[in-house]
Amino acid sequence: MTTAFSVSNRAVNEAHHLPLAPLTVPERLLLGPGPSNADPTVLAAMNRQPIGHLDPAYLKLMDEVQELLRYAWQTDNQMTYPVPGTGSAAMEATLANVVEPGDRVLVGVKGYFGHRLVDMAGRYGAAVSTITRPWGEAFTLVELRAAMEQHRPQVLALVHAETSTGVRQPLEGIGDLCREFDCLLIVDTVTSLGGVPIYLDDWKVDLAYSCSQKGLSCPPGMSPFTMNERAIAKLDRRQTPVANWYLDASLLKKYWGSDRVYHHTAPVNMTYAIREALRLVAEEGLAARWQRHQQTAEKLWDGLQDLGLNCHVDRDLRLPTLTTVRVPDGIDAKAVSRTLLNDYNIEVGGGLGDLAGKVWRVGLMGYNSNPENVDTLLETMGKVLAELR
């Protein structure tokens, strides 16, 4: 007589609602602050078997990603690679590597993500000071110079594309200002990379970060990071080790550099995805891509005006990737976005912080930046507003 062999004589607690049905996901048009829809070509690239992260084929892929990323950012920085995690991980990578306990860090706060930089820099022991502007405005060079004179920071952190307000911070001249004060410049390009003109080296930006799921039209999960020689010099001079092991650039450069020393298992399929997303950026060409984003955004702005809706930001500071639209008096902002999602499968964002309940946030990023999506949104917005009025 044979008895069934059991690897455990303890009963398994069988949850009675399992197994679940196979995954289903609703089809949405993501016109909010992110994620935006992934390009189908990128999704197809992800849908392959992983290979080893030290496989020569993978190492070639890493080189390609680095080269493509340098193009997208217009930089020659050797240390340019994506880190695992979303944009906040890459944000943390910039601060963790160059901020030592006691360092003076000045943050430009003119929206939600400026506050996140303040929070993070404080956690790495920085003495943080801020310069502020109302949500919907940008800093002038004169204001920044005055703040540099007052605070004498070792690091200045600014958000290029403030997704909470829809403001583009002009960056010309700020890099020179930082060098004059022997200060490093960190720039958040999360909602600008792949959609808004960026010239990292010309602007003398020392460290920058971004994400995959906004202007690059890739799913979230791997986030671009870069640092130049000035930033590496500060990293090399540190008296204390980088407090974040996972994001320590002095360890990661041995993996992304020629040594290829194991550090962590790379998210292989996300590397396929970002490689393909960046290849599409290069195939279109940066100038053409920036132009497409600008034209699509202008079509939106004109159409909103025809609907009697106003944009929150002055036209010359508006981001082509993210538009904040003022909610008219007597309209429940949440009811509109709920109806758009539930009845029309369109996602737009609501206001954050100082702009909560006051604006909608409309994203037209990467793959989603096209006139058809603008027409769809305007037509649907018009219908929903008429119903609710």
Q: Is 374 in the site for ligand PLP (CB under 6 A)?
A: no
Least Cβ distance, residue 332 to ligand PLP (angstroms): 25
* Pick 86 or 337: Cβ nearer ligand PLP: 86
Cα gap 61→272, rounded to integer Å: 8
Least Cβ distance, residue 220 to ligand PLP (angstroms): 6
Least Cβ distance, residue 359 to ligand PLP (angstroms): 15
Q: How many residues form the binding site for ligand PLP (CB under 6 A)? A: 14
Query: By rule CB under 6 A, what string of x and - marks binding of each residue 176-195 to ligand PLP?
Result: ------------x-xx----
Q: Is 222 in the site for ligand PLP (CB under 6 A)?
A: no
Q: Is 370 in the site for ligand PLP (CB under 6 A)?
A: no
* Pick 183 or 190: Cβ nearer ligand PLP: 190
* Pick 70 or 214: Cβ nearer ligand PLP: 214
Q: Is 113 in the site for ligand PLP (CB under 6 A)?
A: yes
Instruction: Give the distance, in angstroms, between the CA of residue 183 and the centroid of all CA atoms in the same chain.
Output: 24
Cα gap 37→267, rounded to integer Å: 20
Least Cβ distance, residue 322 to ligand PLP (angstroms): 8
Query: By rule CB under 6 A, what string of x and - marks binding of each residue 56-95 to ligand PLP?
Result: ------------------------------xxx--x----
On the question of a cis peptide bond just before residue 35, with omega within 30 degrees of 0, the verdict is yes
Q: Could you please report the per-residue DSSP string of 100-158?
A: -TT-EEEEEESSHHHHHHHHHHHHTT-EEEEEE--TT----HHHHHHHHHHH--SEEEE
Instruction: Give the distance, in angstroms, between the CA of residue 47 and the centroid of all CA atoms in the same chain.
Output: 23
Least Cβ distance, residue 87 to ligand PLP (angstroms): 3
> Please, are residues 191 and 322 in contact by the beta-carbon 8 Å criterion?
yes
Sorted by sequence, the CB contacts under 8 Å of residue 359 that are 6+ apart come out as 312, 324, 325, 326, 327, 333, 350, 351
Least Cβ distance, residue 387 to ligand PLP (angstroms): 31
SS3 30: strand
* Pick 221 or 303: Cβ nearer ligand PLP: 221
Residue least distant from ligand PLP (Cβ): 87
| 299 burial level (CB within 10 Å; 0-12, 13-18, 19+) | middle
Least Cβ distance, residue 286 to ligand PLP (angstroms): 20
SS3 322: strand
Q: Is 163 in the site for ligand PLP (CB under 6 A)?
A: yes
Q: Pick from 330, 306, 258: which is nearest to 78 by CA?
A: 258
Least Cβ distance, residue 276 to ligand PLP (angstroms): 19
Binding to ligand PLP (CB under 6 A) within 142-161 occurs at 159, 161
* Pick 159 or 183: Cβ nearer ligand PLP: 159
CB neighbours (10 Å) of residue 56?
Answer: 10
Least Cβ distance, residue 161 to ligand PLP (angstroms): 6
Q: Is 339 in the site for ligand PLP (CB under 6 A)?
A: no
Q: Give 363's strand partners.
A: 322
> Please, are residues 30 and 363 in contact by the beta-carbon 8 Å criterion?
yes
| Residue from the set 50, 220, 371, 382 that interacts with ligand PLP by CB under 6 A | 220
On the question of a cis peptide bond just before residue 19, with omega within 30 degrees of 0, the verdict is yes
Least Cβ distance, residue 260 to ligand PLP (angstroms): 27
Least Cβ distance, residue 210 to ligand PLP (angstroms): 9
* Pick 125 or 220: Cβ nearer ligand PLP: 220
* Pick 98 or 159: Cβ nearer ligand PLP: 159
Binding to ligand PLP (CB under 6 A) within 303-322 occurs at none
Sorted by sequence, the CB contacts under 8 Å of residue 4 that are 6+ apart come out as none
Cα gap 190→209, rounded to integer Å: 7
Strand order of the β-sheet with 359-363 is: 322-326, 359-363, 349-350
> Please, are residues 74 and 210 in contact by the beta-carbon 8 Å criterion?
no
Q: Is 211 in the site for ligand PLP (CB under 6 A)?
A: yes
The residues of the shown chain that bind ligand PLP, judged by CB under 6 A, are 34, 86-88, 91, 113, 159, 161, 163, 188, 190-191, 211, 220
